Amino acid sequence: MNRFNFAKNIAIGAAVVLSLTLARAADDLPKADTILDKYIEVSGGKAAYQKHHTEVAKGSFSLAAMNINGPVVSYRAEPNKSLTEIDFGSMGKMREGSDGTVYWMSFAMTGPHVKEGPEKAQAAMSARFNEELNWRDIFKDAQTTGVDTVDGKECYKVQLTPSEGPPITQCYDKESSLMVKQSMTVQSPMGEAQSDSFFSDYRKEGDVLMPHKIKVNAPGQEVVLTFDTITFNADIPADKFALPDEIKALVKK
């Protein structure tokens, strides 16, 4: 055997060994549905989630790069109604939400905006109540893709593919089975942007463990959301999710 053939055979053998090793490593990873269902179980269980019909979360946000802090309040109701209000002080308030059909945003600096196309699809997915429990209805595919490290702890990476839009990757701590990170491509009027969110400070609200701190890393900025209270089955007035007048005007157009 000449040296060329010898080297070629060594390369082929190495490729086969590497392929078999990677295949075995993939087989060792738990299935995505096992990881996602385990999260529901450790955070409270299916029955506990099913008891919830509304949610009100109150807290604050911090945008350190611009030295901005302010209050945040979020209202949600099944199946897909939502309203989030963020007070930016002298810059005005930002509001975004859904009446179940129209998905919108309004901010003093950018004006009112009705979401359409990929942006609407992403907003509809986010507005889905009990999205953790109903992931099979929201995503057409879920695959465990590997292992990552968040805050020094290993976690399983699960790639979730929605029926419309780019996939989302969520990481679940190997020890606790709680979600600790979410990476996604955010759709906005300014285009697409990569966003990484980190979830921590899990505490019980009723019978369900909820993250009370969310750190969001987007291009050039870091936003920290801290929730003081998360209340389930709170009475929310029906008109809370009504479209603002400026949004109604856009819809009529």
Average pLDDT rounded to a whole number, residues 72-87: 97
Share of the chain above pLDDT 90, in %: 77
Q: What is the pLDDT of residues 161-170, one digit of tens each?
A: 998 889 999 9
Q: What is the pLDDT of residues 133-151, one digit of tens each?
A: 999 999 999 999 999 999 9
Q: What is the pLDDT of residues 201-253, one digit of tens each?
A: 999 999 999 999 999 998 778 999 999 999 999 999 989 999 999 999 999 97
Q: Is residue 12 over pLDDT 70? A: no
Q: Which residues of 35-61 are buried (b: 16+ CB within 10 A; e: fewer)?
A: bbbbbbeebbeeebbeebebbbbebbb
Average pLDDT over the chain, rounded to an integer:
89
CATH code given to domain 31-252: 2.50.20.10
Q: Is residue 57 over pLDDT 90? A: yes
Q: How confident is the model at residue 27 (pLDDT cuts 50, 70, 90)?
A: low
Q: Is residue 22 over pLDDT 50? A: no
pTM, 2 dp: 0.86
Average pLDDT rounded to a whole number, residues 113-136: 94
Q: Is residue 62 over pLDDT 90? A: yes
CA distances from 139 to 56, 103, 193 (A): 25, 20, 21
Average pLDDT rounded to a whole number, residues 111-132: 94
Q: What is the pLDDT of residues 150-199, one digit of tens each?
A: 999 999 999 999 988 899 999 999 999 999 999 999 887 777 889 999 99
